[in-house]
Amino acid sequence: MPYEVVQVEAYSGHRGMERPLAFVWRGRRYGVAEVIDRWYEGALKPRDVQLDYFKVRVEDGAEFILRYNALFDAWAVRVKPEAAPPEEAPPEDHP
């Protein structure tokens, strides 16, 4: 599934970006009500990229997966196919 870059307000404790508090996606701000799950990928070797994943529930009850890329200090949200903007249909040929 594709990811889109988002701006995230995160709690930064002694270990850096510890958990997301809110994020802005497609012009709308989502407050994180709960971190449901968290897992990590990478960083087995010094050159590996560390990716932190957070499954969150926002204030309206919707669930999202946020990804933090430590190498680029960048956040992204996983976009479900039904949430992606519709593709434009090609123009129809009229005789």
Which residue ranges make up each domain of the chain? 3-79
Overall pTM > 0.85: no
Question: How does pLDDT run across 53-89, given as a tens digit for each residue?
Answer: 999 999 999 999 999 998 888 999 999 876 555 454 4
C-alpha distances (whole Å) from 91 to each of 1, 4, 63 are 28, 28, 36
Residue 39 in this model has a pLDDT that exceeds 70: yes
Torsion of CA 16, 32, 63, 52, to 10 degrees: 0
Element (H, E) at 76: strand 74-78
Does residue 35 contact residue 22 with C-beta atoms inside 8 Å? no
